């Protein structure tokens, strides 16, 4: 009987690891190559955070943290935004700390609030990183206004994808 319990536990870990790897790859693609709009600071605006938010709504927190860091960090690396790799692998996990994957639905009140907070916190941390990297906090604050397109767009895409996945019962299927 214990072997069955161990095998089931391994299969849950394996499922989470494979899902995290897949979501990191999708995050990299969506962040770096789909709706990728370069901005003047060597970075770019994207809606890849929507995939990171989905990951945080589906996966247990440790997997979601690694998924967000790797997926977004790889996007920065593969698109030539090398200066942003380290800030990204620090900021993306922080921006999803408020999510929960414990519900059988993706779109919950907690996760909607978390997506809003993630966008605000991520924008503030990137503004801070930009000020540190380029030595001009005033310019970083101005450029953050342009960067607000990203969290708003990611929030909208997250809600749309989450509602669609909830309608087809994705979490119930995934949790089996």
pLDDT, one tens digit per residue, over 136-156 is 766 656 555 666 778 889 999
What integer is the mean pLDDT of 158-175? Answer: 94
Structural domain span for residue 59: 2-175
Residue 77, pLDDT above cutoff 90: yes
Produce one character per residue of 124-140: b if its CB has 16 or more CB atoms within 10 Å, e if not: ebbbebbbebeeeeeeb
| Residue 1 pLDDT grade (very low, low, confident, very high; cuts 50, 70, 90) | very low
What integer is the mean pLDDT of 93-97? Answer: 97
> Which residue, among 86, 119, 113, 106, has the nearest Cα to 170 in the 3D structure?
106
Q: Which residue has the tokens 């060597």?
A: 42
Residue 81 is part of a domain; what is its CATH number?
1.10.1760.20
Q: Strand, coil or helix: what is 42?
A: coil
Q: What are phi and psi of 45, to 5 degrees?
A: -100, 140
Q: Are 83 and 139 in contact (CB under 8 A)?
A: no
Q: How many domains does the chain have?
A: 1
Task: Give the torsion sign (CA, 58, 18, 80, 87).
Answer: positive
């Amino acid at each position: 009987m214990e072997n069955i319990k161990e095998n089931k536990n391994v299969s849950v870990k394996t499922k989470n690891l494979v899902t995290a790897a897949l979501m990191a790859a999708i995050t990299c693609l969506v962040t770096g190559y789909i709706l990728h709009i370069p901005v003047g600071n060597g970075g770019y605006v994207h809606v890849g955070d929507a995939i990171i938010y989905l990951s945080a709504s589906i996966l247990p927190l440790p997997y979601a943290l690694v998924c967000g860091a790797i997926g977004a960090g790889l996007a920065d690396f593969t698109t030539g935004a090398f200066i942003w790799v380290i800030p990204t692998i620090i900021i993306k996990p922080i921006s999803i700390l408020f999510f929960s994957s414990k519900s059988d639905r993706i779109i919950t009140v907690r996760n909607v609030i978390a997506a809003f907070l993630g966008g605000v916190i991520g924008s503030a941390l990137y503004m801070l990183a930009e000020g540190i990297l380029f030595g001009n906090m005033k310019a970083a604050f101005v450029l953050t206004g342009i960067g607000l397109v990203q969290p708003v767009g990611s929030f909208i895409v997250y809600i749309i994808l989450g509602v669609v996945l909830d309608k087809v019962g994705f979490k119930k299927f995934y949790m089996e």
